[in-house]
Amino acid sequence: METRRKTKDVVGAVLDAVAGGMAVWVLLAGAVAMARPEPVKAAIPTSCVPWLLGAVMFGMGLSLRSRDFALVLGRPRDVAIGVSAQYVCMPLAAWAISKALGLPDEIALGVVLVGACPGGTASNVIAYLAKGDVALSVTMTACSTLLAPLATPAIVWLLAGESIEVDVVKMFLDIVKIVIAPVVAGVAINELLPRFAARVRRAMPAFSTVVVAVIVAGVVAASAGRIREAAALVALAVVLHNGLGMALGWGAGRLFRMDAARRRTLAIEVGMQNSGLAVSLAAMHFAAMPLAAVPGALFSVWHNLSGALFANCCARRS
């Protein structure tokens, strides 16, 4: 019995270490893909990306119960403010940065795609570490994700449709397929098979970390040459986008007189996007424009680093 308990503790520690080092693993995956793009591209074709993202979203669903959505009814004002900020601040910031930097159409499209996506799954962990309002964070992520099939295609068409052909209907259906369906399946299993879900859920943060790293490696390898050409410009756009999003989220919280925990949560939720979805949509809908996937790939690396730093600062101030 003692041996079994120790083994369980060791496994748990390994899983926590993998999940906690998301930024490191994503950075390492991107570096390997840049150094050896051909073997990585052969091992992880971009056609696998939507399926990999679906697995991450299924894990998110396993962490939710139907009663979690009751928070929308109990605190509709907070959730409405947060989700509105998500879908207003980040797209407008993406558009403004693209114009200010004079980004080429391919890169600008990728930045807009990131801005039009819902909150990222890592934001809930960062909100916890930052001593934010975790319940609000989970509900905002879930609600923005459920709205994504309508909001994301509409925003991309509105902000990028003038210069880029956007198939809104197909994008809607793809988001339902790779985001909504896996989340709903995860919630259903959590409700119907709670014991099984609890066992699987323990490993999901580490699993999601590995999958996100694999997605980034595949996307970076597919466009390694183009990334080298535009790395500095894309990196600048990504850092500005993430920073401006977090600042606007914090500002929205102050504007509506939220307490410190909720302001932190809004900053994190608005600034941290589901960049994996942006990468998937770029690969599926804009394959002829490979640089469109690059902002999402770099955002996956950067927002985990910036989020961890932000959480550390917030925790110290608390």
Question: Mind listing the pLDDT tens digit for each residue in 20-47?
Answer: 666 677 778 888 888 898 998 888 887 7
pLDDT at 251: 94
pLDDT at 20: 65
| 272: alpha, beta or left? (left if phi > 0; alpha if psi -120 to 50) | beta
Q: Distance between CA atoms of 196 and 192, rounded to whole angstroms? A: 9
pLDDT at 81: 92
Token digits of residue 75: 């605190």
Report the C-alpha dihedral over residues 302, 177, 137, 317, rounded to 10 degrees.
-10
Report the C-alpha dihedral over residues 90, 93, 97, 98, rounded to 10 degrees.
60
pLDDT at 227: 75
Q: Distance between CA atoms of 38 and 161, rounded to whole angstroms? A: 33
pLDDT at 216: 77
Q: Which DSSP string corresponds to 112-134? A: HHHHHS-B-THHHHHHHHTT--H
Q: In sequence order, which ranges of the chain are alpha helices (DSSP H)?
A: 2-20, 22-35, 37-43, 49-62, 70-74, 76-101, 105-116, 122-129, 134-160, 168-175, 181-192, 194-201, 204-222, 224-255, 260-271, 275-285, 294-317
pLDDT at 85: 92
pLDDT at 21: 67
pLDDT at 1: 57
pLDDT at 243: 95
8: domain CATH number? 1.20.1530.20
The sign of the torsion formed by the CA atoms of 136, 264, 292, 211 equals negative
**Residue whose token pair is 């809930």:** 124
pLDDT (tens place) for every residue of the chain, 318 residues total: 566 666 665 666 776 676 666 667 777 888 888 889 899 888 888 778 788 878 877 887 787 777 766 766 677 889 999 999 999 999 999 999 999 999 988 889 999 999 999 887 778 778 877 888 877 887 888 888 888 888 999 999 888 875 666 677 888 888 888 778 888 888 888 888 888 888 887 777 778 778 878 877 887 787 777 777 777 888 899 999 999 999 999 999 999 999 998 999 999 999 998 887 888 888 788 877 777 888 887 887 788 778 878 887 887 776
Per the structure, the complete domain to which residue 250 belongs is given by 2-317
| 13: alpha, beta or left? (left if phi > 0; alpha if psi -120 to 50) | alpha
Token digits of residue 232: 């500095």
Number of domains present in the structure of the chain: 1
Q: Are 119 and 145 in contact (CB under 8 A)?
A: yes
pLDDT at 2: 60
Q: Are 154 and 97 in contact (CB under 8 A)?
A: no
